[in-house]
Structure 1
Amino acid sequence: MRKALCALALLAAGPAFATGLEIEVAGEAEGTIKIDLFEDVAPKHVEQITALAGEGQYDGVVFHRVIEGFMAQTGDVEFGKAGGDMRRAGQGGSGRPDLPAEFSELAFDRGVVGMARAQDPNSANSQFFIMFEPGHFLNGQYTVVGEVTEGMDVVDAIKRGEGPNGAVIGQPDSMAKVSVTE
Structure 2
Amino acid sequence: MIKLTRRTFAALALSATLFAAPAFAQEGAPHLILTLEDGVVDIELLPELAPLHVERIVTLTEQGLYDGVVFHRVIDGFMAQTGDVRNGNADSPDYDLRMAGTGGSELPNVQAEFNAESFVRGAVGAARSQDPNSFNSQFFITTDDATFLNGQYTVFGKVVSGMDAVDALEQGPQEQNGAVANPDKIVKASIEYK
Superposition TM-score, scaled by structure 2 size: 0.84
Instruction: Report whether the alignment pairs 1:122 with 2:130.
Output: no
Q: Residue 89 of structure 1 aligns with which residue?
A: 100
- SS of 1:61's partner is coil
Q: Residue 165 of structure 1 aligns with which residue?
A: 177
CA shift for structure 1 position 69: 0.5
Q: In structure 2, what is the Cα distance between the partners aligned to 1:70 and 1:86? A: 21
Amino acid at match of 2:158: E
| Structure 2: gaps (5+ residues) | 1-8
Q: Residue 70 of structure 1 aligns with which residue?
A: 78
Q: Per residue, is there more helix in 1 or in 2?
A: 2
Amino acid at match of 1:98: N
- SS of 2:59's partner is helix
Instruction: Report whether the alignment pairs 1:47 with 2:55.
Output: yes
Q: In structure 1, what is the Cα distance between the partners aligned to 2:186 and 2:75? A: 17
Q: In structure 1, what is the Cα distance between the partners aligned to 2:116 and 2:61? A: 26
In percent, how many aligned pairs have the same letter? Answer: 52
Instruction: Report whether the alignment pairs 1:147 with 2:158.
Output: yes
Of the three residues 138, 142, 155, the one matched with 1:131 is 142
Q: In structure 1, what is the Cα distance between the partners aligned to 2:117 and 2:44? A: 14
Q: Deviations over 1:29-51 (max 9, x none)?
A: x1100000001100000000011
Instruction: Report whether the alignment pairs 1:156 with 2:164.
Output: no
C-alpha RMSD of matched pairs (Å): 2.0
> Would you say how many aligned residue pairs link Structure 1 and Structure 2?
174
Q: In structure 2, what is the Cα distance between the partners aligned to 1:86 and 1:153? A: 25
Based on CA coordinates, which of the two structures has the bigger radius of gyration? 2
CA shift for structure 1 position 164: 4.5
Q: In structure 2, what is the Cα distance between the partners aligned to 1:42 and 1:141? A: 14
- SS of 1:153's partner is helix
Q: In structure 2, what is the Cα distance between the partners aligned to 1:124 and 1:165? A: 20
